[in-house]
Amino acid sequence: EKGGYDHFMLKEIHEQPQAISDTYRGRLLADKGIIKMGSVDNNIAKFLNAKRIIVVACGTSWHAGLVGEYLLEDLARIPVEVEYASEFRYRNPIINKGDIVIAISQSGETADTLAAIKLAKSKGAFVFGICNVVGSSIARETDSGAYTHAGPEIGVASTKAFTTQITLLALMALKLGNLNGELSNSKFHDYLQKMSMIPGKIEQLLNINSEIEKIAAIYKDAPNCLYLGRGYNFPVALEGALKLKEISYIHAEGYPAAEMKHGPIALIDESMPVVVIATKKGHYDKVVSNIQEIKSRNGKIIAIVTEGDTIVKEIADHVIEIPETEEAFTPLLTTIPLQLLSYHIAVMRGCNVDQPRNLAKSVTVE
């Protein structure tokens, strides 16, 4: 059942190239230069007239929502707010006519997300669901929606659900951006081609598993770990930290790299590993200065860089290379080594990777 892997989590990490292809199968028609999404097409006027999109979700799905914010604002120029469902539902939120609520949930059963949807509907919002589990409560409760088609995710730590949620949000952002004139046809076509190359690039990345295992062995006993990223990769830093804490029980925090100076830098000493996402384009020079600041305080740097990087390689203690792609798609690649890193650390610490203590796969109570 685990397909020869020791754990479901490892199997599901390796399934990502297939899962992402399944998400865009029949939707991303790169050669024809179109994105077909029935549920978006059927509601296209609502999407194109939306003054604002509010994303509601919890945990990893909330992190996918944050990547969605960058995608939808950058590519389609639609204002987006991303809310924890648990806060949104109790805050007496302002929902205006013409707002669209997107609810994201792997299981489709998360109590807070479901309650946020019901509240939004009662205030007259159009609610669109992004779910993995077919026929789930959230899939049924939403006005319309799209399935990620990632296949069953058994490990409590969400992996392929996250990258397929991002894939779907990217398809929506590209489609809407092209239709509302923010994204020229040539740029749009270029994005479609690059998106269709993502599964192959993840396949390539998965080959560095043993390299990551070596890094894991060095840091497996660290009591704390910091994750930094900027722009599109800020949410990936949050997700990397969540993955480490939930399965290895190491205290980890994710931060936007520039916020380091406003507090977390005080934590840095020779025993603090810092995972930094420093891909090309994504405010690279600024992230390089953050890395220098950490090194001058003797912190240990594990950097995720773009293939062929030379500058960070000089300063970081370890570098993990990801293949080149559009900046907007880098979260789909930078996430992979972070999943593997937390997986190997958790295994080395003897933790129950697939069923971490105190956690349930779907949180059906608030």
The SS3 of residue 242 is: helix
- Does residue 362 bind ligand M6R (CB under 6 A)? yes
Sole binder of ligand M6R in the list 158, 163, 178, 279 (CB under 6 A): 158
Work out how close the CB of 60 gets to ligand M6R at its nearest, in angstroms, rounded to a whole number: 3
Work out how close the CB of 333 gets to ligand M6R at its nearest, in angstroms, rounded to a whole number: 19
Work out how close the CB of 48 gets to ligand M6R at its nearest, in angstroms, rounded to a whole number: 28
Q: How far apart are CA 336 and CA 270, in angstroms?
A: 26
Sole binder of ligand M6R in the list 106, 142, 164, 342 (CB under 6 A): 106
C-alpha 156: how far from its chain's center? 16
Question: What is the per-residue binding string for ligand M6R in 165-204, x denoting contact by CB under 6 A?
Answer: ----------------------------------------
Tokens of 50: 């939306």
- DSSP 8-state secondary structure symbol assigned to residue 94: -
Sole binder of ligand M6R in the list 16, 23, 105, 164 (CB under 6 A): 105
Q: In 3D, which of 12, 265, 14, 346 has the Cα closest to residue 158?
A: 12
Q: At what angle do helices 16-24 and 160-179 cross, to 10 degrees?
A: 30
Pairing type for strands 80-84 and 52-57 reads parallel
Q: Which is nearer to ligand M6R, 278 or 353 (CB)?
A: 353
Sole binder of ligand M6R in the list 21, 23, 107, 248 (CB under 6 A): 107
CA atoms within 13 A on the CB side of 253: 12
Q: CB under 8 Å to 348, separation ≥6 — which residues? A: 216, 217, 220
Sole binder of ligand M6R in the list 115, 157, 252, 278 (CB under 6 A): 157
Q: Which of residues 45-84 bind ligand M6R (CB under 6 A)?
A: 58-61
Question: What is the per-residue binding string for ligand M6R in 109-138, x denoting contact by CB under 6 A?
Answer: -x--x-------------------------
Q: Which is nearer to ligand M6R, 59 or 199 (CB)?
A: 59
Q: How far apart are CA 58 and CA 44, in angstroms?
A: 27
Q: Which of residues 207-266 bind ligand M6R (CB under 6 A)?
A: 242, 246
Q: Which is nearer to ligand M6R, 110 or 178 (CB)?
A: 110
- Does residue 339 bind ligand M6R (CB under 6 A)? no
Helix (H) or strand (E) holding 102: strand 99-105
Q: In 3D, which of 39, 154, 45, 191 has the Cα closest to residue 102?
A: 39
Whether 138 and 108 have beta carbons less than 8 Å apart is answered as: yes
- Does residue 148 bind ligand M6R (CB under 6 A)? no
Is 361 labeled as catalytic in the residue annotation?
yes
Stretch that binds ligand M6R, among 27-35, 48-56, 104-112, 180-188 (CB under 6 A): 104-112
CA atoms within 13 A on the CB side of 100: 23
Q: Which is nearer to ligand M6R, 60 or 164 (CB)?
A: 60
Q: How far apart are CA 109 and CA 107, in angstroms?
A: 5
Whether 185 and 179 have beta carbons less than 8 Å apart is answered as: no
Angle at 196 between CA 193 and CA 201, to 5 degrees: 115
Q: Which is nearer to ligand M6R, 157 or 287 (CB)?
A: 157
Work out how close the CB of 194 gets to ligand M6R at its nearest, in angstroms, rounded to a whole number: 27
Q: How far apart are CA 118 and CA 293, in angstroms?
A: 47
Whether 246 and 156 have beta carbons less than 8 Å apart is answered as: yes
- Does residue 156 bind ligand M6R (CB under 6 A)? yes
Work out how close the CB of 36 gets to ligand M6R at its nearest, in angstroms, rounded to a whole number: 25
Q: Which is nearer to ligand M6R, 164 or 290 (CB)?
A: 164
Residues labelled as active-site residues: 361
Using CB under 6 A, list all residues that contact ligand M6R: 58-61, 105-107, 110, 113, 156-158, 242, 246, 362-363
